[in-house]
Amino acid sequence: MSSGTLAESGRSGRGVLTSLHIWWRMLVICLEERLAYRSDFALGTLMRFLPIVTQVFLWTAVFAASSRSDIAGYSRDNIVAYYLLTMITRAFSSMPGLSGGIARSIRDGSVKKYLIQPVDYVSFLLASRVAHKLVYYAVAIVPFAIVFVVCRSYFPPAPDSLTVLAYLVSLVLSFLLGFFLEATLGMIGFWFLEVSSIIFAYMLLQYLLSGHMFPIDMLAGIPTGLAGISLADVVRWLPFQYTAYFPASVWLGKVQGWELAGGLVLEVAWLAAMIIICRLVWRRGTRRYSGFGG
């Protein structure tokens, strides 16, 4: 191996280490920011558990009124377990304030500091969200444990180890997919001065089609006009199901075998597509951006 090749290899190695060091420092800084207001953060986290009681009473009333033992293949216990599991998925995939914060930084000009400093904006935002989730689960782990112990009677027996592994993988992928979906949405601010209405419309659509409000299986009886294709079939090809429905269905055994493998492959494909789209939107947006304000 020539000396030039060795030097180039050394520079490449140092570059990787430098990038990792920068990313680690960003993560540490973001963790410190999250912990600065830990009391407010803890209170907000605990308040999110209140809707659980509402859901138990709601679905108990629905099943009592319908006089049916199951709806779309879900018993009352299945529905309650499903909703609790979607809460975990949403805790991974939801990115409160991300898209709005990006659009606001573009509008007020504060984003320009990331254009002149050796810090990648998307990487910084990702580190910030990782920090947010670490602090969130540090606070929420005890309430989550209490809720699941109290509600354990609603759950079927625990799945096998391979299913648990697939469930954990789907959660990590849902976090990354949720991040790049909302980051891309916020970067629309490079083209539109005000994007709050677009963000609201997206959040509403995502809430309905992700399966957070009700399982996607309940859409199976709604035709689309295409032969043999229901609305549920269409929704399952969209990325939204991976932010709530899919991981919960994996744990409950609603998705198994080749359907599970295909679902994970499609989730990875959507994630790869959104990473590429996010980077392209960022690159094109910064090329046309004029750094006013800030």
For every residue of 25-65, DSSP letters joined together read HHHHHHHHHHHHTHHHHHHHHHHTTTHHHHHHHHHHHHHHH
* Nearest residue to 69 (alpha-carbon basis) of 172, 124, 30, 77: 77
Residue 10 has pLDDT above 60, yes or no: no
Query: Please, which residues have CB within 8 angstroms of residue 26's CB and are 6 or more apart in sequence?
Result: 119, 123, 124, 127, 128
Specify the pLDDT at position 280. 95
Paired strand residues for 230:
223
What distance in Å separates the CA atoms of residue 138 and residue 148, rounded to the nearest whole number? 16
With bands split at pLDDT 50, 70 and 90, how would you rate the model's confidence at 232? Answer: confident
The CA–CA distances, whole Å, from 268 to 7, 90, 128, 211, 227 equal 36, 18, 22, 19, 28
With bands split at pLDDT 50, 70 and 90, how would you rate the model's confidence at 24? Answer: low
Residue 70 has pLDDT above 50, yes or no: yes
Largest CA distance in the chain: 80
Specify the pLDDT at position 7. 43
What distance in Å separates the CA atoms of residue 216 and residue 118, rounded to the nearest whole number? 44
CB contact at 8 A, 133 and 93: no
* The model scores a pTM over 0.85: no
Residue 116 has pLDDT above 70, yes or no: yes
Bigger pLDDT: 67 vs 158: 158
What distance in Å separates the CA atoms of residue 163 and residue 251, rounded to the nearest whole number? 7
Q: For Cα atoms 259, 217, 226, give the angle at the middle one, nearest 5 degrees.
A: 85
Chain-centroid distance of CA 100 in Å reads: 16
Instruction: Count how many Cα atoms sit within 13 Å of the Cα of residue 68 in the half-sphere of its side chain.
Output: 9
Residue 193, amino acid: L
With bands split at pLDDT 50, 70 and 90, how would you rate the model's confidence at 293? Answer: low
Specify the pLDDT at position 74. 83
| Residue labelled with tokens 């914060």 | 101
The CA–CA distances, whole Å, from 153 to 80, 85, 158 equal 10, 14, 12
CB contact at 8 A, 175 and 133: yes
Specify the pLDDT at position 25. 65
With bands split at pLDDT 50, 70 and 90, how would you rate the model's confidence at 274? Answer: very high
For the record, the structure tokens of 293 come out as 């304000």
Residue 180 has pLDDT above 90, yes or no: yes
| Residue labelled with tokens 């007020």 | 108
CB contact at 8 A, 88 and 111: no
